[in-house]
Structure 1
């Protein structure tokens, strides 16, 4: 093995992903192989987990235009964190995630250059994402909901007449229409 290859194995050992064989194991391998085994390494349990995780991850898809009826959505990491929390099994939400949203979140691709997660969503899935950001806004951070509403014109607002939140299309550019939105200051 080249020194570069050996250095790579040493890097894996340093990360706890692999372990070097001790003298006893090398002697056993030498007997089995019928030649001297000078060094050997194997994956640790953590190394196997990393490999399995990588193999289970979706392959990066080429940058294409969205399928019919879907829109390309780009989310900042904080938005994706809020969306993951909402789609992961856990609480029995009174407004459950839209069908297929969990799979879209799981297979989203991260663009390092733009620091954005890219996924394609239907209108129903976008409204569901807006609900997740609404929940985040009510529990501490409004940035995710505001950004999503600004970029995709969908937000959740509480209707004062019913006291229930619902998805609304944001009428940007029309102050009178914006003032008539449920939950807007008058």
Structure 2
């Protein structure tokens, strides 16, 4: 249950079973092997609580109950918080013409999330729908990468986010993005203002001119 989407789906499914249970507890016998493992994993994160011996004994059951569980207050809060916000936009299965499947390291994704969370507080806010694409990103455990599909405008915004990161701390995220996708921000020698640069050509680029480099 480490994946956020899988976690929320499992919690919602479990909560429905809990609401349908006459006694307010989901029993071990109500679930299959995979679901029981998911419940135990959620319990380790404090999202599910197990009934005590006394609580199990008080259940109106004719047989012995190995365990009974229900959402903890934290688990309830997680669902309430997730359901209060806008639903993540579904990520397309394949990039549309002019878009690119981008794979970011966890540190890069952290920097990008910080950027999109600032939103309109920035003088150069995130490109249109970038925050939705970030929320819809999927994590690939074997690759240790976040996968998301971006337009050229969104790619430029990501490069700008990493440029901010490089000026305020680490340049690793911007350097990696430049190696993988050929886009970086660098200060213009005459004006000092940042410009989007193609690593391959060294030329400055506007959004429509951006050519996305396949990783």
**TM-score under structure 1 length normalisation:** 0.72
SS at match of 1:161: coil
**Structure 1 residues 109 and 167: alpha-carbon distance in aligned structure 2, compared to 1, 3 A threshold:** same
SS at match of 1:136: helix
**Structure 1 residues 12 and 144: alpha-carbon distance in aligned structure 2, compared to 1, 3 A threshold:** closer
Counterpart position of 1:20? 51
Q: Are residues 1:155 and 2:189 paired? A: no
**Structure 1 residues 21 and 147: alpha-carbon distance in aligned structure 2, compared to 1, 3 A threshold:** same
Does the CA contact (< 8 Å) of 1:159 and 1:166 recur in 2? yes
Q: Which of 74, 80, 95 is 2:124 aligned to? A: 95
Between the aligned partners of 2:166 and 2:106, the Cα distance in structure 1 is: 16
Which stretch of the first structure deviates more once superposed, 105-114 or 47-56?
Answer: 47-56
Between the aligned partners of 1:170 and 1:10, the Cα distance in structure 2 is: 48
Between the aligned partners of 1:158 and 1:103, the Cα distance in structure 2 is: 29
The equivalences for 1:19-168 within 5 A come to 19-21=50-52, 23=54, 27=58, 29-30=59-60, 36=62, 39=65, 40-50=68-78, 64-89=93-118, 92-168=121-197
Does the CA contact (< 8 Å) of 1:97 and 1:128 recur in 2? yes
SS at match of 2:97: coil
Where does structure 1 lack aligned partners over 5 or more consecutive residues? 173-177, 182-186
**Structure 1 residues 169 and 50: alpha-carbon distance in aligned structure 2, compared to 1, 3 A threshold:** same
**Structure 1 residues 47 and 109: alpha-carbon distance in aligned structure 2, compared to 1, 3 A threshold:** same
Where does structure 2 lack aligned partners over 5 or more consecutive residues? 1-27, 205-215
**TM-score under structure 2 length normalisation:** 0.64
**Structure 1 residues 43 and 166: alpha-carbon distance in aligned structure 2, compared to 1, 3 A threshold:** same
Counterpart position of 1:175? none
Q: Which of 163, 169, 180 is 2:198 aligned to? A: 169
**Structure 1 residues 98 and 18: alpha-carbon distance in aligned structure 2, compared to 1, 3 A threshold:** same
Larger Rg: 1
Shift of 1:22: 6.0
**Structure 1 residues 108 and 53: alpha-carbon distance in aligned structure 2, compared to 1, 3 A threshold:** farther
Shift of 1:68: 1.6
**Structure 1 residues 81 and 43: alpha-carbon distance in aligned structure 2, compared to 1, 3 A threshold:** same
**Structure 1 residues 74 and 18: alpha-carbon distance in aligned structure 2, compared to 1, 3 A threshold:** same
